[in-house]
A and B are shown apart, each in its own frame.
Chain A
Amino acid sequence: MTPLLRQFLDEGRGLIQEATRHLLVLEREGESREGTAIVFRAFHTLKGSSGLFEVGAMTRMLHVAEDLLAGIREGRTVIGAGLVDALLACLDQVGQWLDTLEASGELPDGADRDADSLISTLRSAAGLGGPAVRDGGSPAPQAGAADAGADFLAAFGEGERREALRLLREAGPGAGILAIRYEPRAGCFFDGDDPLELFRGLPGLAAFRIEAGSPWPVLEEFDPFSCSLVFRALAVGQEERVRNAFRLVSDQVRIVPLDLEMPEGPAVRKGTAVADAVIAEQVRLLHMPGCPRPEVAGRIGSAAAAVINVLLYEGRQDDVGAVEMAADEALAKADPRILSAAILRMAEHRRAEHRLAEGGASAASAPLTAAAGQDQDTVRTGAAQRVLRVDEARVDHLMRLVGEMAVAKNGLEWLVRSSGADDATVRRLQDLHGTLDRLTREMHGAVLRIRMLPLRQVFQSFPRLVRDLSNRLGKPVRLVLEGEDAEADKAIVEQLFEPVLHLVRNSLDHGVEAQEHRRTAGKPNEATLTLRGFQSRGQIIVEVEDDGRGIDAAAIRRRAVERGLLDAAAAAELTDEDAVQLVFAPGLTTAEAVSELSGRGVGMDAVRAAVEKTGGSVTVRSRPGQGTTVRLALPLTLSSVRILTVQAGGRRLGVPMDVVSQTIRLPRGQIRRVKEHEVFVLRDRVIPVVELSRLLGLESPVRSAGEDARLLVVEVDGRVAGVEVDGFAERLDAVLRPMDGLLSGIHGYLGTTLLGNGEVLLVLDLKEILR
């Protein structure tokens, strides 16, 4: 994917969000000059940037949408729900196309058809007639026009395009960028034409080039009255005026409207690209074989000068010293490679920093980048915040390495104790181990923080969703978002969307009363739905709160008894607060009507399942007649624990690897009895053996003497023990769920984890068990 396309995709998605948000505001709060301008601008920029790619259908559709918005801006068209719907549908379509474009590099096959259909939707929503007639009566833009424009554009440099954009921003409404290619007839001078004069009189000339149409002959044979020039230009203004200026030579000129819209950012990055290229070129230069001896010093010196100048250009004075030193050495030994090696090292360092800086400049949709705020406004105001864009897999890899480091560190501790070294050495090694231990833990925390994302990622989809739901249900709803900046691990944040969506649907469907009921209850016509996020005690909390009817505890009790979830006596004993928690039980629903939206009984138990899968919990608080609050509490991080699964007492259990320093198989003969204890000797140390099944009160199998014992060598609070198990199975990274619900009273377990096959694995807390 080209960087330009990448940028288009990122910015396009940002613009879709921005336009969506402001369309919703427009619809809610009525037309405002400012709001209309923002939406217009977003469509305009989308359309303009799309012109740089072969996405004719998209450009065409956006062009029509932009025209309508211009009409609204100028008061010719009135904005209404129908038009907002059509514009939103347009944005949805563009969003889908961007996805396709990202995946396959082109629009899907039916794009033109879809564009046509949306264009007619737009037109009928705006109360305009037939599909292809534009307001001004000029023909609709051709699907290929934008692509042809991109060809025209290629002749011009970045600076010339920017100049055109600058003029466009200053120009009044109706102005566009036009690419002009004028190749006068050879005999044009005899017709009285003076092509240069046409350009002199052209307003809004942004870029101008004069080229020879064919190579010049020798001067003696040159015919001064035969024109063989080609003129290229970019002009900003009304298309009609520009065409008018060339009307007498219209057969020799091509004028293509460009709709060129380019962000202002690239200039900075272009400098970086040039710097990159210059640095790379010096390395190639230094590696070029066969440099004549007298030129070696000049070559090394000039490469050093070039690289140092790049550094000065970028304000990286700190790196200059290293390059200078390497250059001195390279000169002294007449060996260019000494310098090239230093340049490569410096470049590595420089690139790493640039990657950091670059993320901040682009409002990208790539997941990890969003830490700066997916929201365009945040990106703008938070320009100082630097964001790194990395592949998630790399962070995961880093995480695994940290985990392995922790295991290796445990091994070190064991080695120190059993090494038999003198006390001073042991103490020093222990200090070192302590440092390693602290660093490992800090690294773990630091890596976890890399993965943090703001809740905005989830919340931002809801204004649109709530609007659609509220329209469909005929219940006016005001959505309030709070705490969008609260952060949690990417995996957690991403898993929040589905449950929150369920809850929002439920609230609107069942919680919020129909309008007439709200009126009789003396409530405002418009319901309020709040999505709230915050961190609390190492958890990320998301609340979905409505001001609807609340949950009828009595109805829940009744229903639970009907369903056989509990008997009438038990149900009666439940407090209202506890009773409403039953909504999370599978198959229980209280809505009298089966609604199209939520379906029967689907939702709350699915919410619970989803939340518990990530080690979270869900609770509901109901204030009858006043509203419902559902609270999701999830861990901040999906801190996965490295686990060894073992067999003991006929069960499969998990043991966290961080307490296990090694696993050994031992001929049973080596386990001796000392008093009432079984022990074995490992590196001159006597270590007690305990049987896991016995510790857990499980039945231990009968062991034959010929069978090797399988032991986990475990260290807890400075005491080492051999824990005998029936067998070792696989090692895995698991996300631990705390022991709650039925299991909450049981000790000796760290938590549970779901295995791939859906089986629940209990993970032992060996520290507690062995203590």
Chain B
Amino acid sequence: MDVETHPATNPPQRDPSSRPIPIILQYPSTTPPYLITQGAEALLYRSTYLLPSLQCALKYRPSKPYRHPILDARLTKHRILSEARVLAKCRREGVPVPAVYALDEAAGWLMIEWIEGEVVRVKLNEWLKRRKEEGVMEGQDDGELVGLMGRVGGAVGRMHAVGVVHGDLTTSNLMLRPRKGEENGDAVEGKMLDGEVVLIDFGLSSQSTFDEDRAVDLYVLERAFGSTHPRAESLFKEVLSAYGKSFKGASVVLKKLEDVRMRGRKRSMLG
């Protein structure tokens, strides 16, 4: 579910210049901000932090005119702070996430490390498309994809191990960062899916160690894989098997996932 900071498939037409720019991006010395995407909640800009050479992402939650000002301020503050806390915690424990540079919870913005590379969704679709053009059969010669699925499972497992659940795991919220020394990763023939998996967009995340919450996280990812990349769905088991080895207690979560699957999110309606 691309609800936080990723573009809808067909974003409503609106003049972006009519949007207020957060004050921090209005200083004369600031690198001109570039609006990357706007979701329901937040606007994501690219700018720089401290040095003109240090790129950063700025996530801005503008106030909502429909909300009571007190409620609006309370929610914005809470969401900025909880996202920053989760990011800091992940970072401290070695989970691959963007670093927090700065924030102003009253003004509603959070400045974080700029992650190079592409989201997994784009990379995966490119790879699947290329294979189709080359006429490679499904299940044939897919070691590269298996490797990526394993890295995704490992990254999610490490995040769960430190007591964080993402709340919105999709292939749009997973980045593939090229490894050092191969910045032009794309050029390396046949290594399109190489790179480090970095988790992004913690706007719906929370701190939890419940197996239920973790299993729901996996379920959401599984559904997203199924709907976005039907041709890669059969390899989702690789994500789960890597996840199962990633931390103590992961096997209990996988067991729970079976329950969650059975239940789905379908609730029988009463009246």
Co-complex (A, B): no
